[in-house]
């Protein structure tokens, strides 16, 4: 099979959306919601001493957490985009059966497929997730053709790597 050559770069909007999707998975939302439910149950079982004022404060605190987390994530992503040079560079990927080679203006890197644990397909790009929770952003428009993008997807599935459309 031939090598896949892709040049890709990521803009802030895409990077922020990827970070939001990574953080706000269903499991994360449930884990944040569990303390709210336990607090509610303990308030209701403690007797008639709970007022609506207490209830409004509790809802406000947990609601604030759901609002504060995306705001902090936005600032973190903005800071990360400014501090990390390779997020602003055009990255050149050469992908073959054995490894993924990445070349940018400030670095070169090679990784084996055994360290890739998931491929996520979105409308405009692929994300290859590593075991250390980093990802490679492969824009579909920069593949040589639509057939090359489809062949890449087939190659990844044949390697037994988990596949997702989320």
Domains of the chain are: 4-10+85-164 (2.30.29.30), 14-83 (no CATH)
Q: pTM to 2 decimals?
A: 0.75
Mean pLDDT, rounded, for 23-37? 77
Asked whether residue 54 carries a pLDDT value surpassing 80, the answer given is: no
Question: Using CA atoms, how far apart are residues 87 and 99, in angstroms rounded to an integer?
Answer: 21
pLDDT-derived band at 61 (thresholds 50, 70, 90) equals confident
Neighbours of 129 (CB within 10 A): 19
Task: Evaluate if residue 37 carries a pLDDT over 90.
Answer: no
User: pLDDT at residue 28 above 80?
Assistant: no
Tell me how far CA of residue 25 lies from CA of 48, 116, 139, 159, in angstroms.
Answer: 36, 20, 23, 25
């Amino acid at each position: 099979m031939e090598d896949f050559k892709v040049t890709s770069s990521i803009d802030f909007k895409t990077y922020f959306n990827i970070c939001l999707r990574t953080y706000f998975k269903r499991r994360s939302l449930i884990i944040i919601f569990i303390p709210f439910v336990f607090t509610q149950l303990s308030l209701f079982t403690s007797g008639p001493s709970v007022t609506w004022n207490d209830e409004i404060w509790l809802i406000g605190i947990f609601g604030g957490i759901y609002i504060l987390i995306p705001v902090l994530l936005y600032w973190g992503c903005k800071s990360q985009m400014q501090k990390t040079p390779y997020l602003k560079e055009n990255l050149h990927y050469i992908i073959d059966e054995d490894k993924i080679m990445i070349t940018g203006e400030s670095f070169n890197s090679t990784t084996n497929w055994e360290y890739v644990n998931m491929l996520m397909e979105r409308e405009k790009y692929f994300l290859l997730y590593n075991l250390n929770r980093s990802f490679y952003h492969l824009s579909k428009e920069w593949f040589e053709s639509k057939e090359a993008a489809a062949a890449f997807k087939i190659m990844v599935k044949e390697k037994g790597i988990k596949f997702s459309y989320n």
